Amino acid sequence: MVDNVTLDSEKAGITGKDDTLPKRMLEEPLLKGKAEGQVVRLAEMLPDYYKLRGWDRNGILTLGKIAQLGLSQMEYIERRTGWLKEE
């Protein structure tokens, strides 16, 4: 499901540059718990997340992920650009 959302996002021109969290999570330290005093280090975390998902460093599906989803490269390009009309 996440990969399908990513494919739809790519079609809309949304990439990893648009991946973020609310400013508060990135700037205001947590007040209690194990992570007290820390903020989310999103820039450090995203590359690992993308790699785990099978995406490139820009948050775009890799050829391996495209194949895993059962799409040919042409189907992927068609869906990403809107050339293929889904029924």
How many beta carbons lie within 10 A of that of residue 38, not counting itself?
Answer: 10
pLDDT at 4: 60
pLDDT at 35: 92
Which of the residues in the chain have pLDDT under 70? 1-8, 79-87
Are 48 and 16 within 8 A, CB to CB?
no
- Taking the CA atoms of 49, 62, 2 and 82 in sequence, report the sign of the dihedral they define: positive
One CATH from 1.10.599.10, 3.30.499.10, 3.40.50.720, 1.10.540.10 for 2-81: 1.10.599.10
Are 50 and 59 within 8 A, CB to CB?
yes
